[in-house]
Amino acid sequence: MRIIDDILSSLDYKASVRDIRQGAFQTAALTRGCGLASTPHDPGPHHSQTPVREPGLLLNKDTLSLARMALSPSPLEAAIGMATINSLIEIDEQRCTELNAGELLSSKGDGKKVAIVGHFPFVPQLRSVAKELWVIEREPQEGDFPEVEADSFLPQADVIGITGTAFTNHTLEHLLGLCNPKAYVVILGGTTPLSPVLFDYGISALSGTRVIDSKTALRCVSQGATFRQIKGIRLLTIER
């Protein structure tokens, strides 16, 4: 997981751990700032999942220890790690535009072959403009393809969107290896770190989130908000 190691090595850990929340749909960490990540939803009963070690004691850890949880084989711990990473990144807003991933992909994918890893609400909009659209999903909806089809479709695509949860489930490096080097590749969603380090891996754009009202965002996470229900955030995009 070299890509996560490179992000970890770029961070300043001189910040205290002030809060950790893991709601039904979102995970949040409050250190220098507030960072978000999607809470994983593995199929099957909750007691069969790899649990978070030391729940209730995480505030006793330092920021480096929490951020390194992004490397954990436990998806729930990895989400805490990614939220911590996002809370530590000092986002250069001068490089950002207030643009969501759906608009970006629709613009870049107009008349082109597009592949999306993850089923997002903007899929119908994208389907109306793309020459061809392949939606690859771990739990496919109607019209989607199972994740095993990534090996077939990603190399063919001109424009590619990959969910930021590929950090949490540790599939990102495999997916990036399937992309045509000439493709326009976007990593998107609240888990996505807005770190320029990622541009060293051939990624074209990062569409993620900056929390501007930590108190409100944390309250939403604790009360079971989905990403679209969280208040106190801005959707930002950085292009290479």
Other beta carbons within 10 angstroms of residue 69's beta carbon come to: 23
State the pLDDT at residue 13.
Answer: 96
Provide the residue ranges of all domains of the chain, joining segments of one domain with +: 2-93+213-230, 94-207
Which is it for the CA torsion 120, 122, 124, 128, positive or negative?
Answer: negative
State the pLDDT at residue 150.
Answer: 94
b/e per residue, 87-115, with b = 16+ CB within 10 A? bbbebeeeebeebebbebbbebbeebbbb
Tens-digit pLDDT string for the chain (240 aa): 799 999 999 999 999 999 999 999 999 999 999 999 999 976 554 544 568 888 888 999 999 999 999 999 999 999 999 999 999 999 988 899 998 899 999 999 999 999 999 999 999 999 999 999 999 998 888 889 999 999 999 999 999 999 999 999 999 999 999 999 999 999 999 999 999 999 999 999 999 999 999 999 999 999 999 999 999 999 999 998
State the pLDDT at residue 4.
Answer: 97
CA dist 187 → 25, 106, 115, 154 (Å): 19, 14, 12, 14
CATH of domain 94-207: 3.40.50.11590
CATH fold group of domain 2-93+213-230: Enolase-like; domain 1 (3.30.390)
